[in-house]
Structure formats: structure tokens, C-alpha cells
Amino acid sequence: MTEAARKTQLANGVRILTRRMPHVRSVSMGVWVNAGARDEAPAENGLSHLIEHMIFKGTERRSAYDIAKELDAIGGNSNAFTSLENTCYHAKVMDAHVGAMADILTDIFLNSIFDPLEFERERPVILQEIGMMEDSPEEHLHILSGNNLWGDNPLGRSILGTRENILRFDAPTAKQFFCNRYQPDRISIAAAGNLSHDHILELIGPAFDAIPTGCYFPKRETPSANPGISTHFRKLEQQHIGMVGPGIAIGDPKRYAFSLLSTLVGGNMSSRLFQEIREKRGLAYAVYSYVSSYADTGMFGVYAGVDPDHTLPAIALINSILRGFGEACVSDDELSGAKEYIRGSLLLSAESSDNQMVRLAQNEMHYGRQIPLDDVIHKIMAITPEEIRSLAAELLDPEHMALTILGPTATDLSLSGWYDIPLEL
């Protein structure tokens, strides 16, 4: 049976959180930093992600090869990711190897040397990653959509950075950025699985307690949304459509209704977008809605990939579906199905030590406390049809959203009034 979370805060502000799951044989651990691409100036764009790569490129004790070899030797898997507001370095091993995993994660996080030679080797890898993203129209469209909505704010930039920045950065610049942003009061270490909190504390506490406190962290500016249309020509088989608008901040009480609304709009196979656009009309293979929430704002988005000849009908249908949620309440049956979908997803994910580790860290960073899963489910199950209608009326007016098109774009898409395309088209 999964036990209650435990937390220890070190003198410098680093927080260590664990959840014991004695019924599993694994332990997942992540070192999280409440800093990401949103905390970069334009000339720094891409540094957070670049540092994520460099962390695995060697310490005074281990070469890049040693790090990979030692993790492989204990049957573990490790990775890292950078988001707009967070960076995480994580690993998962059998419980018998938790000491080795903790030692490796601690070493790479605290003792990476940012070797200039390794930096030069990694630079073309980042450039290839940018190229790979641009070669994926769906992924590239999401970057373009964010930029269309948020403009010059860091939330509108690519986490990967620009080619110009990547070519200009050097190892000392990356290391200095690391020292400035990775401050102890922004660090949380979360671990879940068959573990002991006191043992984890013994393994990593002394090393992380030695991190000196920082003195400055840049202020995050809340962006203003920019409704409008942005078209990007590329010779593709499909037209990729993105429609995005402001959403709900991660701590907003309406976040539960926000999650339900996205599920109802296009979050699963019974959603209205999937049923109307794919199942009934065959206009798209991929069509869905999604949400992103940040400390002070959020985004609601819709994506569809269609035949270029079906661009206008697809946009008209998306507009109609979005407006429909704000004009009339969803049925009790439709809402009940969405609630059970989310409830099932939450409960099934709770069986994973990886997901439990993520919940520990995110609850701590976003809310400063652990919110029991039962409380989350209770809030979701209590949402009414009127709450969904009211939130949809507030957020899902296409006239207040940003439309982004990537593909063999027709010239008439640059005209104003795209949000009033007649449904009969």
C-alpha cells in the first residue's frame, strides 16, 4: 500500500520528498529545479535545455561514458527534460540499486564540469534536435502557435533556443547560467518506490545541503494574449491547424473544470472534436485539444491535421464546436463520462513510481504542499455542467484566440474574419 508523503527541508532551502510504495520493486528519483526556458532573456534562449544535455557530459569523478556505463550496469534508465518553468533530471532503478542511483544523480547535478570539449561535441547535437523538431510539422506548429499567442514573451519561444544562440554559446556561459538559476530554494528532490525516507536523506542530504544560497532570480512577466492569424508556408501533404487562447493558471481553483473542459472538447475518442471531425466527417486523422498551465497564466489549444482542401471546413467546424460549449450546458451523461475518464487516468497512473515521483515534485513546487489524490478526484467529480459552460464561454470564443496554419497555405487564409467562416462551407 502506498504510504503518505514525507518531506525534509534542508537549511539552505532544498526540499527532499519521498513516498514509500512497499508493493513495488522500483525507485524513481528526480532532481527538480523551478527554473526553465521562461527564465531566459532573449540572448539566453536555449541555455536551460543546453544545460540539461551538459549535465550528463562528465564530472570530476566520472566521464560521460562512465555515467552511461554505470547507469546501464545497474539496469536503470535515466533522462532529463526542460520545460518552460521547470527542469528535471531523473532515473529509475530496482530498489537494491537506490544508493548507486542517488550517487550518480547527485554527482552529475552538483559536480558537472562543463568541459569545453564536450560542449563543442554537444553543440551539433542540439542543432540536430532543432532540425528534428522543424521536420515534425505537428511539433513545429505547437511552437509557432505559442509564439503567435504570446509574442515576444519567453512563453512564446522554443525551449530548444535558436540556431544563432546555440552557435554563440560557450561552456563558461552555460556554467554561469547554471550557477545563477539553480538556487537551493528552487530545488526539490522527489523519490517514490520501495524506499526509506531516512535512507534517501542520508544518501543525498549532506551534498545538497552544501549548495550556497543565491541572491537573484529574474522576475517572470505575465504575457498578454495576441488574437489573430499567422500563416507559414511549407510544401507538405497536410495543412496543420493550431488554435490557441489564454487558459487557467496552475493554482487557479477553476483548474479542475479546465481539465474536464479539455477532455470534453478533444481529450479522448468520445470527445466532440474527435467524433465530429474524424469519425463523422473524416476530415482529420489527428485532432485533439490540450491545455498548458503555468504559475500565472495558461493556454487552451486545439490541433488538427487536414487535407489542404478541407482547411476552411475544418476551421469552421472547430469554431462551431468551441462556441457550442459556451452556449449550452453539456449533458449529465457526457460530463459523467469525462469525469470517469480523468478519474481512471489518475488512479491508474498512481500505480507507477515514476508518476508518484512527478506528483510529489509538482505539488511541492506549485502548491507548497501535497494534495491527496482523493481530494483532486473529489473536486473533479463535483464540477457541474454550468461550471463547464461558464468556463467555456470565458475561454473558447474563437474571436479571442490565435490561429496558426502550417502547410501549403491558401492565400485567402490571411484575410480577417476567420473566426466567422460559415459552417456550411
Question: Residues 229-256: what's their mean pLDDT?
Answer: 96
Whether 1 shows a pLDDT value over 70: the answer reads no
Rounded Cα distance, 400 and 328, in Å: 19
User: Residue ranges per domain, the chain?
Assistant: 6-209, 228-420
Whether 414 shows a pLDDT value over 80: the answer reads no
Whether 415 shows a pLDDT value over 80: the answer reads no
Provide the CATH number for the domain formed by 6-209 in this structure: 3.30.830.10
- pLDDT band of residue 421 (cuts 50, 70, 90) is confident
Whether 153 shows a pLDDT value over 80: the answer reads yes
Q: Which segments of 297-405 does DSSP mark as H helices, in order?
A: 311-327, 332-349, 353-367, 373-381, 385-395
Give pLDDT tens digits for 182-235. 999 999 999 999 999 999 999 999 999 999 998 789 999 999 999 989 999 999
- Asked whether this chain's domains 6-209 and 228-420 adopt the same fold, the reply is yes
- The pLDDT, as a whole number, for residue 412 is 65
- Residue by residue, DSSP assigns 239-293 as EEEEEEEE---TT-TTHHHHHHHHIIIIISTTSHHIIIIIIIT--EEEEEEEEEE
User: What whole-number percentage of the chain has pLDDT above 90?
Assistant: 93
CATH topology of domain 228-420: Cytochrome Bc1 Complex; Chain A, domain 1 (3.30.830)
- The pLDDT, as a whole number, for residue 411 is 57
52 is catalytic: yes
Q: Which set of grid coordinates corresponds to residue 104?
A: 550518480
Rounded Cα distance, 46 and 157, in Å: 9
Contacts of 175 (CB under 8 A, 6+ apart): 114
- pLDDT band of residue 80 (cuts 50, 70, 90) is very high
Catalytic residue selected from 44, 52, 118, 276: 52
- The pLDDT, as a whole number, for residue 365 is 96
Rounded Cα distance, 346 and 30, in Å: 20
Give pLDDT tens digits for 373-403. 999 999 999 999 999 999 999 999 999 999 9
User: What whole-number percentage of the chain has pLDDT above 70?
Assistant: 98
Q: Which set of grid coordinates corresponds to residue 283?
A: 476530415
- The pLDDT, as a whole number, for residue 85 is 97
In this structure, which amino acid lies at residue 100? A
